[in-house]
Structure 1
Amino acid sequence: TAHLSLLGYDPRLYYRGRGAFESIGAGISMNPGDIAFKSNFGYIDEESGVVVHRRVDRNFEGDGPRLCALLNGVTLPSFPEVQVIVKYATEHRCGVCLRGPDLTDEISATDPLEDGLPLIHCKELKPGGK
């Protein structure tokens, strides 16, 4: 948030999380109304839904770009009008941008913040958006 202050923006008013910074840093052009996420590649146990490792190895430069290319442009069945943009950033991270009508950034987090806990499903915090 210090960089916002240096540029004259009050972070208490303008800081909306790291998503836009990670996505722009990965090369995604952001438009007004876009929603951006800083995302980690990790390991999840499919049967239990438990996050085994919140981050894959930091040496992920080979697989990361390939996975991002596979995810980029994926269609969300429940929201086919929403464009999904995914670009590799660095190590175990990527930027994700959702672009479409009536999106909201008023959503809950999904990171359990510790390995060995269930993945948290994202929920809308304020009715009216997607």
Structure 2
Amino acid sequence: MRKILFGILCCLCIILVIGVWSYFNRPSFLYPALPFSHPDKSSVVAKLKQADDEMLIPLITTDSDTRFYWIGAKSAQSGEAKSLKNLLQTDGWSFVEQEGAGYFFEKDKQRIVITAHMWSSDFVLYKVPVEVPADIFQ
């Protein structure tokens, strides 16, 4: 009887250790689907995990057919949104307002919307129009 109880207790401990490890080091296949096809989830997760807090990372460049590109950041209590606003202000864009997940900016009578997508509890993805040069996020 003691051997069975000991075996069950060992199995429960192993399951607990695996559960705690996977909670803090979530493998990329446990993240939701990306809103774009390339690059894959594992490379996006690796890039974003290595980034500093509030740092915006370019994830996908524009194609000739696309009017948008994607950047990502660690979710840090809207600190990444402040970084986004600061970077755009250095490029001459002025922040107008935020409505839901949309950040509205203006420059030379041109108005753009950058949309935030909460990809997971860890990361935020931003859909940026091509009017904003991608090199400001590098």
- Is TM more than 0.5 here? no
Which one has the bigger helix percentage?
2
TM bracket, shorter-chain basis: 0.3 to 0.5
Write 1 or 2 for the structure with the bigger share of strand. 2
Compute the TM-score of the two structures, normalised by the length of structure 2.
0.32
- TM-score in terms of structure 1 length: 0.34
